[in-house]
Amino acid sequence: MGNEDAVIGLLKKINENLEELGRKLDRIIEIQGSSRTIAKAMTSGEMPLDVDTLLSLPDHLRRTAMAICALGEATATQVAAETSRARAAESDYLNQLVSLGLLKKRRKGRDVYFYIER
């Protein structure tokens, strides 16, 4: 009986983990989907980083984009200080925004600055 209970407990744990994994995959698919929608809009014409675009961005990118809107031009470290998130994560999000055509970046010495082209 003891063994059966242990197996049932283990199977429940595995099931919980699988459900959690499923939720995370759904989130990734959702983020990729919204990025694709934005990328499509980018290639189809003008899409400046105004509030309309901001509202259509996924949450994680919106916070980064808002920080750049406020700072004007900033490094990943400066954006991380603004959003209270990790610098590495902000660097990734900033580069995603560059790929989407919403931001530009330029190097000044050892630092990379991200900005909105007006």
Minimum gap (Å) between residue 66 Cβ and another protein = 7
Query: Among residues 5 and 45, whose Cβ is nearest to another protein?
Result: 45
Query: Among residues 5 and 117, whose Cβ is nearest to another protein?
Result: 117
Minimum gap (Å) between residue 76 Cβ and another protein = 19
**Exposed e or buried b for every residue in 50-80, given b needs 16+ CB within 10 A?**
eeebeeebbebbbbbbbbbeebeebbbebbb
CB 118 within 8 A of CB 79: no
User: Which parts of this chain interact with another protein (CB under 8 A)?
Assistant: 46, 48-52, 54-55, 59, 62, 66, 69-70, 72, 116, 118
Beta bridge partners of 106: 113
Query: Among residues 62 and 105, whose Cβ is nearest to another protein?
Result: 62
**Which phi and psi (to 5°) does residue 73 adopt?**
-140, 135
Minimum gap (Å) between residue 23 Cβ and another protein = 20
Three-state DSSP class for residue 47: coil
Query: Among residues 7 and 69, whose Cβ is nearest to another protein?
Result: 69
